[in-house]
Structure 1
Amino acid sequence: MREIVGYAPGAFDLFHIGHLNILKHAKRRCDRLIAGVVSDEMLRLTKGISPVVPIAERMEIVRHIDFVDDVHCEDVPDKLEVWRELRFDVFFKGDDWRGTAKGAELERRFAEVGVRVEYFPYTMSTSSTKLRGALDALTAATARDA
């Protein structure tokens, strides 16, 4: 039987339980899991943000998660281009993408090459956006008090 390769991309900035949950759930659905860590440049280009933790450090953190078999630096905006390089069978994403135009487009394009898209529950209690907001507030308060 052929090995099923899964791919779970993310910024993995300010690593938290939501990141861990996606990787844990993804590993249960494939034989080999590749975590795609989005580069600093791609985060600036696609999300308009700079990560708090640099790419080399984020990759090192993710590389040491037991569920992850390999780590890939995602430095192109097109997920299909990443697939052409890695040839994964399943693409994992948080369900905040389900039902969106971006999610539908991703599903359509991956279906053309035989890749299944699977969604996992988005962790509402903790997110990088919330953590980034808390850091920004602390930084602002510290600057005010200085």
Structure 2
Amino acid sequence: MKRIVLILALVLVGFFVFRGCGTSPEEASKDTVKEFMSAIREGEGKEAVKLLYPPFRDALVQDVKLPIQITEMKPSELLACALSSMGENVKKVKIIDVKKIDDKHAEVLVKVIDKNGVEKLFWFITIKDEKSWKIASISNVK
């Protein structure tokens, strides 16, 4: 009986050690950006906002040019609506490259093709917070 308990304990320890290693920063960043772009394409702005690093999200909220006085929506809800409407014009999204910056940062190069066939490249910078990867910056590639 002790032997079975010992084997079970070793299996559980092995599971948690393996799970603790997690995925690489590159894979985690790629998955976060894919999830973000998928949420935008599907008109799920609220889900997209959840993937933004809070300081970046707050900066984007400041860029929403609608006067808050005319609506009862929270600023993050306005941002979610803006992100949802952006997805209507997206035809295709392709991850081009992923580079690890350090253990808590990575950059993801994304090509977006709109419904008019216009291609645009964007760099997404991701950051690992306490428990997940978030988008900390999005910029056009010139």
TM-score, with normalisation over the residues of structure 1?
0.23
TM-score, with normalisation over the residues of structure 2?
0.24
Query: Looking at both structures, which has the greater relative contact order when contacts are Cα pairs under 8 Å and sequence separation is at least 6?
Result: 1
Higher strand share: 2
Higher helix share: 2
